[in-house]
């Protein structure tokens, strides 16, 4: 039986390409959205309605690919400008609460699947240790919150066989097509222990990598 994959957002070049790559490689692919894609079954934007439909069509889910990654053109203020709380809240809801709802809706189907792999998008610029920004509070803070959600989720689900992939597509440095190919390889393969160092094993540790394969700190 084919493995199933769900892509949460296909309204970006990266998300669309990732969905088509999984379809190309023989997965049964579902996506939330209205834009038709060859060999991709579209579901409702509402995660709970989508989960109900996927349950009828497949009964299981192997890979949950959360490609949600929202920025706001108003997210340019610095601490001296005054924090725009409405923008911070909007981006937080889209980048964090939507991801939480997505996992909640599809977790029963993931429990029935064999893959049990979760994929999330973030940016090295949102790393607490790596950021040099003085603005983009809303985006950075939302991704920092997402990192905490992923860590807490992993603490609960890893003993049940779940594995995680966290990925920076390097917008502006790597084309969406190349980033999606890199993401596919990262999602579907076990990278294993690097240099015999157990702290660099993607399966036993929560590892955050970019489209060029580099590891970043949280």
Helices (H), the chain: 13-24, 47-57, 85-92, 98-112, 137-157, 176-188
Q: How confident is the model at residue 145 (pLDDT cuts 50, 70, 90)?
A: very high
- At 138 the pLDDT is 97
Q: How confident is the model at residue 204 (pLDDT cuts 50, 70, 90)?
A: confident
Spell out the domains of the chain, with CATH numbers in brackets: 4-216 (3.40.50.720)
Percent of the chain with pLDDT over 70: 94
Give the chain's end-to-end CA distance (angstroms, integer).
Answer: 37
Average pLDDT, the chain: 93
Average pLDDT over residues 149-160: 96
Q: How far is CA 45 from CA 50, 98, 118, 134, 204, in A?
A: 7, 11, 19, 34, 33
Tokens at residue 7, please?
A: 């892509």
Q: Is the pLDDT of residue 171 over 80?
A: yes
Range 49-81 burial, b when 16+ CB lie within 10 A, else e: ebbebbeeebebbbbbbbbbbbebeebebeeee
pLDDT tens figures, 13-69: 999 999 999 999 999 999 998 889 999 999 999 999 999 999 999 999 999 999 999
């Amino acid at each position: 039986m084919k493995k199933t994959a769900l892509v949460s957002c296909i309204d970006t070049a990266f998300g669309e390409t990732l969905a088509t790559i999984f379809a190309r490689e023989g997965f049964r692919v579902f996506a939330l959205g209205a834009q038709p894609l060859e060999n991709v079954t579209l579901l409702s934007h509402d995660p709970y309605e989508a989960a109900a439909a996927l349950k009828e069509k497949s009964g299981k889910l192997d890979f949950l690919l959360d490609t949600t990654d929202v920025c706001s053109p108003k997210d340019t203020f610095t601490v001296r400008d005054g924090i725009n709380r409405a923008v911070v809240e909007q981006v937080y809801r889209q980048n964090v609460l939507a991801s939480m709802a997505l996992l909640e809706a599809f977790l029963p189907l993931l429990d029935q699947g064999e893959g049990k792999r979760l994929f999330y998008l973030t940016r090295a610029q949102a790393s607490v240790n790596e950021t040099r920004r003085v603005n983009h509070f809303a985006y950075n803070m939302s991704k920092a919150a997402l990192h905490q959600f992923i860590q807490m989720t992993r603490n609960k689900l890893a003993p049940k066989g779940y594995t995680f992939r966290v990925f920076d597509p390097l917008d502006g440095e790597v084309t969406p097509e190349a980033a999606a190919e890199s993401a596919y390889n990262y999602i579907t393969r076990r990278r294993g222990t690097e240099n015999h160092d157990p702290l660099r094993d993607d399966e036993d540790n929560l590892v955050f990598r970019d489209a060029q394969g580099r590891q970043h700190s949280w």
